[in-house]
Structure 1
């Protein structure tokens, strides 16, 4: 993991985000490539999970070990299970693939006209609403729980990478329109 993440950043996302290298101007193709890679990762995760089930290996064996050896099993939370981590990371990867574009880099590095106060406030509100929504998901049906977790975690990058910057630049929207005219 510690090698894969920097390698993905350097060789996959950086040329696309910073627009250097071959095919840097083809945003649609790069977006499609990121989505295909994210979907492939999700497919590999699902195949691995069900392969373990077919082979008779319980993918949730760590949860059983936690209940056996934990001094207070009531403190074990669903968010510490391997399945939750799998759902959360693959959904975030898909959300990132759909939302990270050169516009994100331009906002982050080349935009002076933004309100840091609005950005911080909107980010805090988004994270609060996200946490509240996550805490209120019904846990009685495992499939619905993980599906809703997947949808929420896929939506989170869109909220943080697209909505929060749009809110932060909102007070300056009229100035930008006047400069372009």
Structure 2
């Protein structure tokens, strides 16, 4: 058994060492698109999906908003749990560890540039950016294409369909290149992130009627169970002599400037954010009863803008200096309240 584990570990380390050259190639050859890569990684991060881009889509249709928010919340929760249970190393961590480990004979001859965006403190697999962005683009493109299919005969041609597929693939690849350029993920983490997102979205679409028909009590109980599961993983890791905060320590250990690290990107915060969003959806259940009123574009724009302006102020007021428990409790309540108002109560004023 030890021999098998040694062979697997060696093959894994060899694979990561070779993938480091892909990150180096991206930094050397793709520097011309630096503003674009920063836009994809900074502006299109998962938290901005919930606070900016999904509400923006809600201006055009409450149906799109509900579908996007539910799917991305479930998929983001899946991502957070995977990183909480079994975090994987990131390129800069792996490279620094290889050079610091005296037992490693063959040091990878790779030079990676670190920056503020490289200071992540969650596991690398699956890439949360690739996972959520792929789902966001697919749902938005499908709604847009179906709407155009119904209105314009020219959109029913194979050429338009092929063009849409190429556009989706191009945007997802840009997200991959962004993560590779900033040395925040390995290539396999980006690819598997998108793959897991597509598979999870397919499962969601196949059971959407069942999920939207769940009564409030069942939905709230499920979210409480997931919260208990996250806590259980923490104590199980302690019993197995595993560090639950390994990824955070790696981030602090190898980040060139500790002030670059943010509370908002820790594994625990990601879980609290996603469970808060899930609790908001649970309190709004059953989701098929959510009102879908038709209203003017500008009225929806004003109401959604007001809500997000208030939510932005509450995000700035997060109690970061009042202790870990107060910080997490505040964020859980804020996310749950934001989701509940956005999904259930705001449409009443349309």
TM-score normalised to the size of structure 2? Answer: 0.40
Question: Which residue is 1:126 aligned to?
Answer: 307
Aligned-pair Cα RMSD in Å: 2.2
Please report how far the alpha carbon of residue 73 of structure 1 lies from its aligned counterpart in structure 2 after TM superposition.
2.2
* Kept after mapping to 1: 8 A contact 2:319/2:330: no
Question: Which residue is 1:59 aligned to?
Answer: 244
Question: Which residue is 1:7 aligned to?
Answer: 203
Could you tell me which of 221, 224, 234 is aligned with 1:36?
221
Cα gap change, 1:122 to 1:49, in 2 (>3 Å): farther
Question: Which residue is 2:93 aligned to?
Answer: none
2:318 paired with 1:137: yes
How many residues align? The count is: 152
Cα gap change, 1:79 to 1:146, in 2 (>3 Å): same
**Structure 2 regions of 5+ residues with no counterpart?**
1-77, 79-196
Query: Which of the pair has more CA radius of gyration?
Result: 2
In 2: Cα distance, 1:84 partner to 1:35 partner: 20
1:65-144 equivalence runs, <5 A: 65-100=250-285, 101-104=287-290, 106-107=291-292, 111-112=293-294, 114-140=295-321, 141-144=323-326
In 1: Cα distance, 2:224 partner to 2:202 partner: 20
Cα gap change, 1:156 to 1:50, in 2 (>3 Å): farther
Please report how far the alpha carbon of residue 8 of structure 1 lies from its aligned counterpart in structure 2 after TM superposition.
4.1
In 1: Cα distance, 2:309 partner to 2:240 partner: 41
Give deviations 1:85-110, integer Å, cap 9, x for gaps: 01111111111111142232x50xxx
In 1: Cα distance, 2:318 partner to 2:216 partner: 30
Question: Which residue is 2:179 aligned to?
Answer: none
Could you tell me which of 143, 146, 151 is aligned with 2:328?
146
| Stretches of 4+ aligned residues off by more than 6 angstroms | none
Question: Which residue is 1:156 aligned to?
Answer: 338
TM-score normalised to the size of structure 1? Answer: 0.73
In 1: Cα distance, 2:258 partner to 2:201 partner: 33
